[in-house]
Structure 1
Amino acid sequence: MWTFEDKGADLQLPESLSDKLRMVRWHEHSSDIVPISGSKATGVAKVVEHLSLKPENVMVFGDGLNDMELFDYAGISVAMGVSHDKIKEKADYITKTVEEDGIFDALEGFGMVEKELHFPQIDIETVEGPLATIKTNHGDLRIKLFPEQAPKTVANFVALSKDGYYDGVIFHRIIKDFMIQGGDPTGTGMGGESIYGQAFEDEFSEELYNIRGALSMANAGPNTNGSQFFIVQNQHLPYSKKEIARGGWPEPIAEIYAEQGGTPHLDRRHTVFGQLVDAESFAVLDAIAAVETEAMDKPVEDVVIETIEIED
C-alpha cells in the first residue's frame, strides 16, 4: 500500500494499527505500509533460510528508500541507475537503468558473466559519435570520436575544438614511426588546459587501444589530462599476433597490432578516445610524421592545426 503525503512523515498510523503495521518510506511523499514483522528483507531472509544459503550469498537490486533494509541484509547490493541518493551511497555497485540492461551490466561488473566486448576502432563504419576533422597545413585528419567509452575526454576535446582553442596550435612533437603530438597553445609541450579548469582523470576502456591511427590524450602521469593529444603513427611492431595475445591483449586487437602497428606499451597509460577513419587521413598522418625535426623532436617548419571541425 502506498501513502501520499504533502510533507514527509506527516502521516501517522493510528494506535489501533501501529502494533500490527509500520510505514517504510520509499519517497519524499510516500511510504509502504507493511506488517510490523515483515519487509522485503524478512521475506528474502525466509527464502534464503529455506534454501540453506547465507546473506552473503545474496545479491539484491533496488532504487528506493524502501530497499534500505534489504541492502543492509544482503551480501551484495546494487543500485539501479535512477536510484535515490541514499541508496546509491549504501550500494556496493551502481548500475545502469533497467532499460539500459542495468542488471546485466552489474553481473558483468562483478565478473559473474563474461563481458561482451566491442572494438569500435575495428568496426569504425558502424560507430555512432562525433566526427572531428583536424585541418592542418599538410591536409585533413578525419577522426571518429568515442563518447561511450571516454565521455569526459570526448566532451573536453569537442568543447575546446568548437571554442577555437586549437586554432593555430602546432604539432610540437613529432617522432616518425611513433606518433605526432599537439594541442598545447604554448607550443612547448608544457601548457594546455581542460574545460574543467584542472587536470582530469584517465578513462581507460577494455574496448579501445593505441593501435595505428588512434587519437589519445598526452599526459604527465596518471590523471593529468588537459588539452594535449597525440595520434599514433607507428606501422610496424616486432611481435606476432600470438606474442601480443599472450601479453593479455584481446585477439582481434593483437591481430591489428601485429598487422598494422601501434603502441601497445601506452595502453592503460593514455586515454584513447578516437580513431582515424580513412586512407586519406592516414596518408596525411604519415606525411606529417616524415617532416624534418630538430631538438626535442620539434619540426623545423611548423605543422599547424588551422582549426578542428566537429560534426555531431
Structure 2
Amino acid sequence: MSLKEFSLFAVLFMVLLGSCRDQPTTKANQLPQNNIKKDSIVPEVPVKVVKKEEEAFELTEDNAIEFFFNYSKTLKENKVKLTTSLGEITIELFNNVPYHKANFIYLTKMGYFNNTYFHRVVKNFIIQGGNADNVETAEKRSKIGRYLLPPDTRKGHKHHRGVVSMPSSEINNPHKLASPYEFFIVVTKPGSYHLDGGYTPFGRVIDGMDVVDKINSQPVDNGDWPSQNIYILKAEAF
C-alpha cells in the first residue's frame, strides 16, 4: 500500500469512528436487561394454606360413655349456677356419679341450658328443666348429638328434698336410660323416696331452694306446663 493510499484509508476510518460515537441510543436498539442484582432475593408469593374445616364432634350412643369417662377426668368444676327468670339456683354435683356429673357440666359449658325452660311443674313434687319448644333448643340438641346415659342408682343417694336427678327417656326404655338433656329437682318434704332405684340423683341444691319453691308454686295447665314460661336464662359451671 502506498503512502497516499494509507493516508486516505486512515482519514476514512476516523470519519466512520466519529459517526458511530455520535449515533443516539434508542430503546429500539437496546438489549433487554435483567435488573435483578445477583445478591438480591426474589420475594416469594405467599401461598394461601386452606385449613380443612374440622368435623364437628357429635355424641352418639356408641361414643358417649367413653367420652364422658375421659371428660370427667379433666373436670375441676363441681357446681352449676342456674340463673332463672325467678332467681338463682346453685347445684353441687356428686362426684361418685361421674357420667351424669360430666354430662351436666358439658352441656352447661356448651351453652345448652341457656334459654331453656323449667317446662314441667308438679305441685309439691318436682320441677323439671332443660327443654323448650323453640327452634334454638332443637338445633342445640341436633349439634350436640343423640344419646342416652345408663342409670347409676346404687351410689347411696336418695331423692331427698332439693336433690337433682335425671329423668328417663320417653322412648321405649325398659332399662330407664336417662335423658341427658333434662333434669328435675325434688320439692317434696322430706323427699320422694319412691323414685329411688329408678332414677339417678347426681346433685343437690345448696343455694336457692326458695327459688325452687317459687317455681313450684307457679300456675300450670293440665299438662303440668307453666302458664307462663319460666326461663333458665343462663347456666354457669364453677
Q: Tell me the TM-score normalized by structure 1.
A: 0.46
> 8 Å contact 1:171–1:302 — kept in the other structure?
yes
- Amino acid in the other structure paired with 2:183: F
Q: What is residue 158 of structure 1 aligned with on the other side?
A: 105
The offset of 1:229, in angstroms, is 0.5
Please, which runs of 5 or more residues in structure 2 have no aligned partner?
1-75
Q: What is residue 179 of structure 1 aligned with on the other side?
A: 126
For residues 193 and 285 of structure 1, do their structure 2 counterparts lie closer, same or farther at Cα, with a shift above 3 Å needed?
farther
Q: Select 2:83's aligned residue among 135, 139, 144.
A: 135
1:168 equivalent in alignment to 2:115: yes
How many residue pairs match? The answer is 153
CA distance in 2, matches of 1:193, 1:207: 34
The offset of 1:140, in angstroms, is 0.5
SS at match of 1:170: strand
1:205 equivalent in alignment to 2:134: no
Please, which runs of 5 or more residues in structure 1 have no aligned partner?
1-127, 236-260
CA distance in 1, matches of 2:145, 2:234: 21
Q: Select 1:214's aligned residue among 129, 142, 163.
A: 163
CA distance in 1, matches of 2:132, 2:107: 11
* Higher-RCO chain (CA-CA 8 Å, sequence separation at least 6): 2
CA distance in 2, matches of 1:269, 1:193: 27
CA distance in 1, matches of 2:84, 2:112: 14
> 8 Å contact 1:150–1:205 — kept in the other structure?
no
CA distance in 2, matches of 1:285, 1:234: 11
For residues 232 and 157 of structure 1, do their structure 2 counterparts lie closer, same or farther at Cα, with a shift above 3 Å needed?
same
SS at match of 1:277: strand
SS at match of 1:262: coil
The offset of 1:185, in angstroms, is 3.8
CA distance in 1, matches of 2:121, 2:215: 8
1:226 equivalent in alignment to 2:153: no
- Amino acid in the other structure paired with 1:212: R
Q: Select 1:301's aligned residue among 219, 228, 235.
A: 228
The offset of 1:203, in angstroms, is 1.3
CA distance in 2, matches of 1:282, 1:267: 21
CA distance in 1, matches of 2:144, 2:166: 14
The offset of 1:129, in angstroms, is 6.0
> 8 Å contact 1:171–1:181 — kept in the other structure?
yes
1:263 equivalent in alignment to 2:210: no
For residues 231 and 194 of structure 1, do their structure 2 counterparts lie closer, same or farther at Cα, with a shift above 3 Å needed?
farther
CA RMSD of aligned residues (A): 2.1
CA distance in 1, matches of 2:184, 2:79: 17
The offset of 1:199, in angstroms, is 1.1
Identity %, equivalent residues: 30
The offset of 1:196, in angstroms, is 6.4
Q: What is residue 122 of structure 1 aligned with on the other side?
A: none
Q: Tell me the TM-score normalized by structure 2.
A: 0.60
- Amino acid in the other structure paired with 2:124: D
CA distance in 1, matches of 2:154, 2:228: 36
Instruction: Give runs of aligned pairs for residues 63-212 of structure 1, distance below 5 A.
Output: 130-146=78-94, 148-186=95-133, 197-212=146-161
The offset of 1:173, in angstroms, is 0.6
SS at match of 2:228: coil
For residues 264 and 304 of structure 1, do their structure 2 counterparts lie closer, same or farther at Cα, with a shift above 3 Å needed?
same
For residues 269 and 216 of structure 1, do their structure 2 counterparts lie closer, same or farther at Cα, with a shift above 3 Å needed?
same
> 8 Å contact 1:193–1:199 — kept in the other structure?
no
CA distance in 2, matches of 1:139, 1:293: 19
State which structure, 1 or 2, has the greater radius of gyration over its C-alpha atoms: 2
Q: Which consecutive aligned stretches of 4+ in structure 1 deviate over 2 angstroms post-superposition?
A: 191-197
For residues 289 and 193 of structure 1, do their structure 2 counterparts lie closer, same or farther at Cα, with a shift above 3 Å needed?
farther
CA distance in 1, matches of 2:187, 2:142: 25
Deviations 1:263-292 (A, max 9, x none): 1011111110000113xx111111000001
> 8 Å contact 1:194–1:227 — kept in the other structure?
no
